[in-house]
Amino acid sequence: MLNRKNNPPASIVVERADSRVHAWVTGPTEAPLIVLTHGAAMDHRMFDPQVEPLVEAGYRVLTWDLRGHGDSQPLGRSPILVGDMVDDLLALLERLDVRGPICVGGQSLGGYVAQELAFLHPQRVSAMVIVGSTCITLPIPRWEHLALRSSVAWFAVWPWDHFRRTIARATALTPDVQEYAADAASRMSKRDFVRVWSGLSESLHPEPHYRIDIPLLLAHGDADRTGNVARTAGDWARRDPQCRYEVIPKASHNANQDNSPAFNRVLLDFLAEHYPTARS
């Protein structure tokens, strides 16, 4: 967990679409910035195992709660699309007066936000880290696209208490991470989750000639059975010329939490090569 005594984060809040979006920044102002965005029903705490090692390596780290998650309440105006989340992130960067390219990362839904930022604003991103997410610009079979869209209806009728417990079991292998996932999901209403998932289901936009032409770390747990994450990762890695593809052992969907020592070694090695600090 993050040692907040050694590196107390600075809290910032921006007003966005009838919501208050909360973020936390840790590390020196002059250090290279890394932004980490959590997955659906999670919150900024999922990156606590990364913040301290990153700051010790010389980085400045921003974690935040997407609208409707954690402290960023209420959800505000909807529908909320991935593009809206990108705009929220840009508002946070503007508040911090960050204009240059950064390293952007995300887990699951957060990976969609990272990809869309790079797609819409390539000048803002110099490196990308994706954990347990799929590629939003790769073509997928029509049946998979239909299944994603129809999942909104499934979640709408799923009893919320049971669904939260299912999320906890499906996202993590270790009991403490499962406990975290259940707690994070409990801070979100079923109505807001369905609205967020509805926007997520509309976020895929196949781009046959598009390539992510910046350094990309693509990772997932060896036990990640969420959707088509593991099955499509190889195709994604082959498409993008600067992609480094890593499977994190003994980890599920929240791989950065399940096996944080292994993930952190891969992450810091990738950053040292492609997004170095003065210490590097």
Calpha distance 134→151 (Å, rounded): 16
The C-alpha atoms of residue 77 and residue 151 are separated, in whole angstroms, by 22
Q: What is the pLDDT of residue 145?
A: 80
Verify cis geometry, omega within 30 degrees of 0, for the bond prior to 74. Answer: yes
Answer whether 60's CB lies under 8 Å from 6's CB: no
Per-residue pLDDT, 3? 53
In a domain, 60, yes or no: yes
pLDDT digits (tens, 9 = 90+) for 208-234: 999 999 999 999 999 999 999 999 999
37 domain-assigned: yes
- What are the residues whose beta carbons fall under 8 Å from the beta carbon of 4, sequence distance 6 or more? none
155-186 pLDDT, tens digit each? 888 898 998 999 899 999 999 999 999 999 99
Query: Tokens 């110099």 appear where?
Result: 126
* pTM confidence score: 0.95
Residue 4 has pLDDT above 80, yes or no: no
- Supply the DSSP symbol for 47: G
What domain range includes position 246?
10-274
**How many domains does the structure of the chain reveal?**
1
d(CA 196, CA 93): 22
79: cis peptide before it, omega within 30°?
yes
Assess if residue 280 is contained within a domain: no
Residue 230: give its domain's CATH number. 3.40.50.1820
For residue 141, pLDDT beyond 90: no
Q: Is 92 a domain residue?
A: yes
Q: Is residue 47 part of a domain?
A: yes
Residue 204: pLDDT above 50?
Answer: yes
User: Looking only at Cα atoms, what is the longest distance across the chain?
Assistant: 52
Cβ neighbors of 44 (< 8 A, separation 6 or more) are: 22, 23, 24, 36, 38, 63, 64, 65, 70
Asked whether residue 157 is assigned to any structural domain, the reply reads yes
- C-alpha to C-alpha distance for 189 and 45, rounded to whole angstroms: 18
Q: Using the predicted structure, report yes or no on whether residue 103 has a pLDDT greater than 60.
A: yes
- Please determine, for residue 1, whether its predicted confidence score (pLDDT) is greater than 50: no
The reported pLDDT for the residue numbered 5 is 57
- Position 280 pLDDT exceeds 80: no
Residue 232 belongs to a domain: yes
Residue 4 domain-assigned (yes or no): no
Specify the pLDDT at position 8.
Answer: 85
In tens, the pLDDT along 80-97 reads 999 999 999 999 999 999
